[in-house]
Amino acid sequence: MNKLAAALLSAIFSFVSRLPLSTAFTVGELFGRFACQVAWIIGRNRIGMINLRLAFGREKSKGQFRKILKEMWINFGRSAVEFARFPRYSRENISRFVSWENFDRLVRPRERGRGVIAMTAHFGNWDLLALSTGLNGLPVNLITKHMRSKFVTDTWMKQRARGGVNPIFKKEARREIISILKKNGLVGFVLDQDTKPKEGGIFVDFFGRKASTLSAPALLSEKRDTPVVPLFLVRESRFKHRAFVEEPIEFEKVGDNHEHNVVHNTRRYLEVLERYIRKYPEQWLWIHRRWRRRPPGEPPVYTGAAGKRRRRHPDGVPHNS
């Protein structure tokens, strides 16, 4: 069954990559609109509505939240098309689709000879960001995880590998990360997902609410005496993107408490991400359970979302959140 599914997906990728660019994007946008409707049925968009309310409160209306989710899904469809077309990107043509702001900031930490620690999120087309980074001469080693389906994992990683992206799976990550940094390579972290404590999750403010966040970038920054570099890919038009590289963030000590210092610096990384999400809300993937784990004593956030239904506010926010 997995071989048949792999062959089918490979055929879909091949078909999409052969379509004229405008036609392929039309297909992707239609897919995104369809996925948005399905997401309402299965409850994923209810998670998105909860997250939007947590992030923006009364700054935006329910109608604006729904519009953001619709645009998010359309962007997801476009990104899926770009992912299918990865074999068509090259060093010679990537600049037609992705332009860079301050690429030197990403390269600068290599002058210390201690590697590059990069931080991004499920924002814009994050896979195209990794591809473009590699095609511009800085191969990406991306921290990722095995998905529930081995077939999906293998297919996804095979497509990423076409762009020279090397996956580092969390279970085997520690030694490989150190080895890459010692060789002055780039290790990329996606810092916007709920993280288990046993995988290094710590509670840090994100849009004013504690969120379990990966501590590894801050720990590595301190250990390697090298900064964390935030970067994000923003879709500026249907086909064009701009990659923004923020100033490298040096590890900052604000006292003698090591745990407090790690939280403080992780918060600084998330502040950059917040700024981008506020400016381009339709480009962040809102359907993750970002606030799934709660500090002791705090009630759950997602009761009734994408699961057993319970009484909720009209905007989708549970009464006990």
For the segment 228-271, what is each residue's pLDDT rounded down to a tens digit?
A: 999 999 999 999 999 999 999 999 999 999 999 999 999 999 99
Domain contains 235: yes
Domain contains 126: yes
What is the average pLDDT value for the chain, to the nearest integer? 90
Domain contains 296: no
Domain contains 288: no
Q: Each residue of 44-55: pLDDT tens digit?
A: 999 999 999 999
pLDDT classification of 305: cutoffs 50, 70, 90: low
With 0-12 / 13-18 / 19 or more C-beta atoms within 10 angstroms meaning exposed / middle / buried, residue 259 is exposed
Domain contains 315: no
Distance CA 18, CA 5 (A): 20
User: Is residue 287 within 8 Å of residue 300, measured between CB atoms?
Assistant: no
- At residue 313's C-alpha, the angle toward residues 310 and 318, to 5°, is 50
Measured CA to CA in angstroms, residue 72 lies from 45, 189, 281, 283, 299 at distances of: 11, 22, 8, 6, 28
pLDDT score of 317 more than 90: no
pLDDT score of 147 more than 80: no
Phi-psi region of 244 (alpha: psi -120 to 50; beta: other; left: phi over 0): beta
pLDDT score of 102 more than 90: yes
pLDDT value at residue 316: 38
Domain encompassing residue 225: 2-283
- The domain total for the chain is 1
- The rounded Cα 13 to chain-centroid distance in angstroms is 22
Which range has highest mean pLDDT (2-6, 168-172, 282-286)? 282-286
Find the Cα–Cα–Cα–Cα dihedral 70, 319, 192, 103, rounded to 10°.
50
User: Is residue 122 within 8 Å of residue 190, measured between CB atoms?
Assistant: yes
DSSP class of 288: S
Distance CA 121, CA 240 (A): 19
pLDDT value at residue 171: 66
Rounded to an integer, the average pLDDT of 165-193 is: 89
